[in-house]
Structure 1
Amino acid sequence: MRYSYAFKRKCVEMYYQGLYPDTPDGICGKEFHRTIRKWVRIEESCGPEALKHKAQNKVWSPEDKYALVARVLSGESNKSVALTSGINEGMLYQWVRKYKIYGYNGLISKPKGRKSRDPDMKKIGTREPKKLNESEYEELIRLRAEITYIKAENEVIKKEIALREEKEAARLKAKKQQSSKNSVKKDTH
């Protein structure tokens, strides 16, 4: 259930007075009291503003994630580190798990979503490339011709290597047959 900032503040103030508000329908009393105690700890460590709903989630850099993971690895509990930093305990648990498996690289955010089937597909909102001036256009033509020449040169080199390998394989096969003939001659004498 999502609670308003005013409701959370009222619950925290009542807790300081030694009272609990009425438990909302459909929620276990123990769980609701545990949630209020969690709000109190968040407010004590981060201030009352931490209870407000954020319009947008904070983007954590790998360095910030590592600082929190290092605190957990040095012996602090997941819960205390999560509460003092104002993040969800499950998120911190995932960061620690990824750090243990992949190291620092596990803390670097990966792009979301699945890859496009057609990588050449035009993205919505992309700009048209600017027009080239005459010297840039000539340079483009020259570079394309150079790439074509280099590709052809690579193909020739690959064919030469393949021919060399074929010749070497034929030579080794002939040598093996020659040595097997010689061993058969020695056995008959």
Structure 2
Amino acid sequence: MRYSYEFKKKAIELFNRGEWPKTPNGVTTDTFHKLIRDWVKLEQHHGPNINKNRGTNKYWSPEEKYSLVCQVLSGQGLRTVAIVAGINSGQLYQWVHKYKTLGYNGLINKPKGRRPKDSNMKVTKNISPRQLNESEYEELIRLRAENAYIKAENEVIKKEIALREEKEAARLKAKKQQLSKHSKSKDIN
């Protein structure tokens, strides 16, 4: 649901007086109150004009996105970082998710829409990743080796657990057979 600037302004004024505005239909009270608290924090951080509906979106470079993602990954709260940056926390969540799945290349803006039929028009098909400098390349190699080591270690642990479970199952089966033999011999006597 999109709220007008006037509605946001009134909600913030009521919040500052210690009151809550009436919750609109289709929205839970908790969600609405959380939204108002976010509006208040945005206004405190960026001024009263931040809550106006802006006609155009700001362009975020991959480096700017990366710096925000690093803040979240270093332990800062996602909503806190989003409020300080002045963006929606859902947008920041998408950037963090793309970074986790695709790495830095996930933060690069890709062309939107359908490709033109005219072959004379410029088409950017492949977006090449940025070149790594020597220290980044060395770290990448080190991290890949560490990742391979951890995967192998996990496999060993999984096999060890499977062997323990097999031994335990065999022990329980043998114990069950012994008990059944013991109970049969009692029935005969």
- TM-score tier (shorter): 0.5 to 0.7
Aligned-residue identity in percent:
52
Match of residue 34 from structure 1 = 34
Q: Which ranges in structure 2 are unaligned for 5 or more consecutive residues?
A: 123-189
Match of 2:88 in 1: 88
Q: Max radius of gyration: which structure?
A: 1
Runs in 1 of length 4+ with deviation above 6 angstroms? none
Post-superposition offset of 1:103 = 2.4
In 2, are the aligned partners of 1:78 and 1:92 still within 8 Å (CA)?
A: yes
Change (3 A) 1:122 1:81: closer
Alpha-carbon distance between aligned partners in 2 of 1:17 and 1:56, rounded to the nearest angstrom: 32
Amino acid aligned to 1:27: V
Distance change >3 Å, CA 25–CA 120, structure 1 → 2:
closer
Residue in structure 1 matched with residue 100 of structure 2 by the alignment: 100
Q: Which shifted more, 24-33 or 43-52?
A: 24-33
Correspondence for 1:2: 2
- Aligned-partner Cα distance in 2 for 1:50–1:85: 11
Q: Relative to structure 1, is the Cα distance of residues 102 and 10 closer, same or farther in structure 2, using a 3 angstrom cutoff?
A: same
**CA gap 1:47/1:122 in 2 versus in 1, 3 angstroms:** closer
Change (3 A) 1:102 1:23: closer
* Distance across 2 between alignment mates of 1:99 and 1:23: 36
One-letter amino acid matched to 1:56: T
RMSD of aligned residue pairs (Cα, Å) = 2.0
Distance 2:11 2:121 in 1: 52
d(CA) in 2 for partners of 1:95, 1:30: 25
Q: Which residue type is aligned with residue 73 of structure 2?
A: L
1:4 alignment partner AA = S
Deviations 1:141-182 (A, max 9, x none): xxxxxxxxxxxxxxxxxxxxxxxxxxxxxxxxxxxxxxxxxx
Q: Which runs of 5+ in 1 are unaligned?
A: 124-189
The within-5 A match list for 1:17-166 is 17-116=17-116, 118-120=117-119
